[in-house]
Amino acid sequence: MTVEEFKNKYGIIGKSKEIRDLADISLQIAQSDISVLIYGESGVGKEIFASALHGESKRADKPLVSLNCGAIPEGILESELFGHEKGAFTGAVGKRKGYFEIADGGTLFLDEIAEMPLTTQVKLLRVLETKEFMRLGSETVTKVDVRIIAATNKDLQEEVDTKRFRNDLYFRLKAVTLTVPPLRKRKIDIDDLVDHFVKISSNENNLPLPTITSDALDFLRNYTWPGNVRELKNTIETAVILNKERIIDKGVFESLLISVNKNIENRNLPVFLNKSSDEADRELLYRALFELKKDIMELKDIVLYKQREDYEREKSLMPQEVIPLDNMEYEAIKNALEFTQGNKRKASKLLNISERTLYRKVKEYQL
């Protein structure tokens, strides 16, 4: 398989040297069981390379299981990884497999690995070295064969130096390191990405392909993209849905990108040109939903940071299995459910968490 065939097969978009080199290295190491550490800012597409590494490996017929270490509180992260027996802690009403057992024979992708607590890092290192673990509350050893791919947007060497990450685990994970550059450093890829996302959005929404003007493309090439490829994808998707005239000019992207960076009193002022009242109202609604989703995602990040900070401060006073109730997380979930009229699938997408996590939170907070 050539590098271009590999890129096309797994949706790795871009003609920059950086992306070609990453695809080349990924293709070379895919068949091995070597651990891989993927660096990159949030939204650059680290999970795409993890998926490609698994898909082209000898484990491709087994599961690829993904876990965001930063999205799960410390008190239940160990249970998520290793599973538990009935009665292992309050709320453990039955036996449950963890991510390692689910991924047995396949690949476990640990995103945001730098957010993993030190106590859990010790147990992860032991599994990597011995290929065995015990569920919480169990006295029986379970053996697994799992390849680990980890990802982070932090400098793990700096985390090691400041004692926030174990040195031995760091060297165990970094057998091969891939660094995905931010979109602002590979702007040559923007045109290909725009074309790719326009086609996907049009097909998914049963819309004809729009025309993007040259001044609109120039604007996209010169924008800094703090949210990287994920931000570009969301922007293109919104623009495709909003513009039924099938012509997307610079003004459309300015309204979606520049306005959201202004202060609150200015960012919601609509600018509608040559549109009927119904069309203007519909566009305003779409923009409001677009901004609401971003606000909820930002709130989620704040909530998770605060939750981890509170837990570290209070964990010495609490039983290990008890998780502090975080009012901000409760409110975020409650508001998302109200906004989606109780639709948990839509609410989980707004909150950028899995449905499984949302169901657990709903039960935990008795919503």
Q: Choose the final residue of a domain: 235, 269, 303.
A: 269
Give domain status of residue 287, yes or no.
no
- CATH code of 241's domain: 1.10.8.60
* Angstrom distance (rounded) from CA 128 to CA 135: 15
Are 73 and 155 contained in the same domain? Answer: yes
179, pLDDT greater than 80: yes
**Does 241 lie in the same domain as 198?**
yes
Q: Quick one: DSSP state of residue 262?
A: S
On the question of pLDDT at 288 being above 80, the answer is no
In this structure, how many other beta carbons lie within 10 angstroms of the beta carbon of residue 222? 10
Q: What are phi and psi of 358, to 5 degrees?
A: -65, -45
Query: Rounded distance, CA 109 to CA 99, Å?
Result: 10
Q: Is residue 98 part of a domain?
A: yes
Among candidates 43, 71, 49, 42, which has minimal Cα distance to 356?
Answer: 71
For all residues of the chain together, what is the average pLDDT? 81
Same domain? For 22 and 150 the reply is: yes
Least confident span in 59-63, 184-188, 195-199, 206-210: 206-210
Q: How many CA atoms lie within 13 A of 56 on its CB side?
A: 24
Q: How many residues does the chain have?
A: 367
pLDDT for residue 202 is more than 70: yes
Residue 284 belongs to some domain of the structure: no
Which residues are within 8 A (CB) of 279 and not within 5 positions of it... i.e. 6 or more apart? 244, 272
Give a yes or no: residue 170 inside a domain: yes
Our CA dihedral for 83, 89, 95, 100, rounded to 10 degrees, sits at: 0
CATH value at residue 144: 3.40.50.300
- Whether 248 and 299 map to the same domain: the answer is no
98 vs 83: CA distance, rounded Å: 4
Confidence of residue 366 (pLDDT cuts 50, 70, 90): confident
Note whether residue 274 is domain-resident: no
147's enclosing H/E stretch is strand 147-152
| pLDDT over 80 at 88, yes or no | no
Q: What is the pLDDT of residue 273?
A: 42
- C-beta separation of 236 from 197 below 8 A: yes
**CA atoms of 243 and 211, how far apart (whole Å):** 10
Which carries the bigger pLDDT value, residue 172 or residue 315? 172
Here the tokens at position 355 are 């449905």
Query: What integer pLDDT is reported at residue 263 of this predicted model?
Result: 36
Whose CA is closest to 113, among 170, 163, 53? 170
Mean pLDDT value of segment 288-295: 57
Q: What is the pLDDT of residue 270?
A: 45
Structural domain includes residue 262: yes
Strands 247-248 and 132-133: unpaired
8 Å CB contact between 112 and 103:
no
- Same domain, yes or no: 36 and 110: yes
By percentage, how much of the chain surpasses pLDDT 70? 78
CA distances from 250 to 5, 124, 174, 213 (A): 33, 49, 43, 7
Model confidence band, residue 242 (pLDDT cutoffs 50, 70, 90): confident
Tell whether 345 is covered by a domain.
Answer: yes
More confident residue, 156 or 336: 156
Does residue 279 lie within any of the structural domains? no
**pLDDT for the residue 89:** 62
87 and 68 in a common domain: yes
Q: Which of 128, 149, 181 is the last residue of a domain?
A: 181
User: Backbone dihedral region of 162: left (phi > 0), alpha (psi from -120 to 50 degrees) or beta?
Assistant: alpha
Domain that holds residue 299: 293-365
151 lies in the same domain as 190:
no
Q: Which residue type, as a one-letter code, is found at position 282?
A: R
Does one domain contain both 356 and 249? no
| Whether residues 237 and 125 fall in one domain | no
68 and 148 share a domain? yes
pLDDT confidence bin for 298, thresholds 50/70/90? low
Q: Do 19 and 168 sit in the same domain of this protein?
A: yes
**Res. 327 pLDDT band, cuts 50 70 90:** low
Structurally, how many domains does the chain consist of? 3
In a shared domain, residues 28 and 166? yes
Which of 181, 212, 242 is the last residue before a domain boundary?
181
